[in-house]
Structure 1
Amino acid sequence: MALSGKVALVTGAGQGLGRGISDILLKNGAKVAMLDRNETAGKNTKVDFDKKYGEDHSIFLTCDVTSDEQLKGAFQKTIERFGRLDIVCNNAGIVDESNWEKMVDINLKGVIRGTYLALKHMKKENGGAGGVIVNTASMAGLGPILFLPAYTATKHGVVGLSRALAEASKAGGYGVRINALCPTFINTPLLSYLTDEELTGDFRPLCHFAPQLQEMAGMLEVPVVAESFLHLVTDEDKNGAVMMVTAEGGAYINFPQNVMEVPKTPVTSTRTPTEPETPSK
């Protein structure tokens, strides 16, 4: 997929990875709607990008992904402004084990909501032109982080959602690819939350494992992860792909065979049917 002339929507775009993803999309010729509940960060990012790429190439929309009304409105405003929608990155996320309900609302329910809205606008059966969705998960979507159990659950959910919908899109002819991005530790403000005593809640005594995990996995810079995101967008062979990004580079995860995959040909039962009883006269 060439990005020139394409339109993208990115959640959590005000800072960190979301800003980096928006930057690389703009750099490659796409127009971008940047969504974030942090209005100050979002507006500052918009000002910076206007200087680099011009005012007409991006918009900023204040949006909380836990609000169905706000997210629907942001999708609609994006299409009204740019006339189409080709790429969606559901990236907004938090770390807060002390308020796990809120974390589930943002990290998982927000991604589900954003993915369903993206499909509504892009899938061919609805008159859309197709496109690609990339959902930001984490290494926690592939294995457990012992001091972030609810966070781990949300990211496992994002990976599962993305893989299942990729199969649905393939079987249903939606024309939309759905992939998941699973980076290890990224040098963003979110990193400090891993050892925040308030945000780790009951699991704060286990936070001392965080530096050990960071040392093992290495530290990623935002542009490196953004490049991996770009591969998931531009490689049209990637649907249902899950990319883990480490200090050594990006690697696609090969999951075991999907036992629930829809068979290409009908399966005929080998069971001998039971003969019906002859009704008594």
Structure 2
Amino acid sequence: MVDINVEKGERVTKALNEVFGDGKVIFIPTDVGNQVQLENAFRVSIDHWRRLDIVVNNAGVFNENNWRLMMNVNAVGALQGTLLALEYMSSKGKGGRGGVLINVSSISAINSIFYGPIYAGTKNFIVGLSRSLGNEVYYDYNHVRILTLCPGATITNILGNFTVKEVLPIFFSPDEGPAAQAIKNDKYQRPSSVGKAFVFLIKKGSNGSVWVVEDDQLPYEVDFVGRKLMQKKKACQK
């Protein structure tokens, strides 16, 4: 496990090792937006297990007022984690044997959220990146399946404690009105539902596919129809 929160990382690691056995889980304090720290996390993992089979890029923050941090963690962190995963798991890279890479996006990449435009932008980046790298050209070379999971609102630190304070005030007054109402109306699912979706994707998700898990239901795959089928109406010439 890789996270910037040392206290929580160590506590959760201890709890998991008590269930599954010492050394089954290790914690590596890391800022995923820091390339040196993140690559070190991969090297420590390789030293511990001698190989990598599965990588999940799940780090994320939501704070429209600190959009630079959000871009660095959500977009840059995911990109760096993706490139490192390919490098270390690629059958043509550093002696890897292929594997599975799951990049975590958000339901906001499927349905836009007006109170989080920059957050939605970072999550759309992940979908575009993963779908493009999910092309068979990359799989034939690396033997790494690349999938995207888009969770709906989930009881985690990123959204579980979310308030209108994280909404950019320069766009509109969030103290009362649509933003507060939208947050109040969100239906939050349990983290365990997302965890089960991860297991399903690892076992059965096809390369390049994008999945949604929401409302504590089973995950479903998103059908990206060709752009020609997306046409609503053509421009009229004058």
Q: TM-score, normalised by structure 2?
A: 0.87
The residue number in structure 2 matching 1:104 is 71
The alignment partner of 1:89 has SS state of: strand
Q: CA RMSD in A?
A: 1.8
Counterpart-to-counterpart distance in 1, 2:225 and 2:89? 29
CA contact (8 A) 1:139 1:184 kept: yes
CA contact (8 A) 2:154 2:160 kept: no
The residue number in structure 2 matching 1:249 is 218
The alignment partner of 2:55 has SS state of: strand
CA contact (8 A) 1:179 1:232 kept: yes
Counterpart-to-counterpart distance in 2, 1:51 and 1:89? 23
CA contact (8 A) 1:46 1:58 kept: yes
Match among 201, 204, 207 for residue 232 of structure 1 = 201
Tell me the CA shift for residue 166 of structure 1.
Answer: 0.7
The residue number in structure 2 matching 1:69 is 36
The residue number in structure 1 matching 2:81 is 114
The residue number in structure 1 matching 2:232 is none
Q: Who wins on radius of gyration, i.e. which is larger? A: 1
Matched, 1:166 2:140: no
Match among 171, 177, 180 for residue 148 of structure 2 = 180
The alignment partner of 1:182 has SS state of: strand
Tell me the CA shift for residue 46 of structure 1.
Answer: 1.0
Counterpart-to-counterpart distance in 1, 2:24 and 2:8? 18
The alignment partner of 2:92 has SS state of: helix
The alignment partner of 2:97 has SS state of: coil
Tell me the CA shift for residue 172 of structure 1.
Answer: 4.5
Matched, 1:157 2:147: no
Match among 56, 60, 79 for residue 93 of structure 1 = 60
Percent of aligned positions with the same letter in both sequences? 33
Counterpart-to-counterpart distance in 2, 1:138 and 1:238? 19
Look up the equivalent residue of 2:203 and give its one-letter code: T
Look up the equivalent residue of 1:112 and give its one-letter code: L
The residue number in structure 1 matching 2:112 is 144
CA contact (8 A) 1:194 1:207 kept: no
Matched positions, count: 221
Counterpart-to-counterpart distance in 2, 1:220 and 1:167? 31
Counterpart-to-counterpart distance in 2, 1:52 and 1:70? 28
The residue number in structure 2 matching 1:223 is 192
Counterpart-to-counterpart distance in 1, 2:102 and 2:164? 29
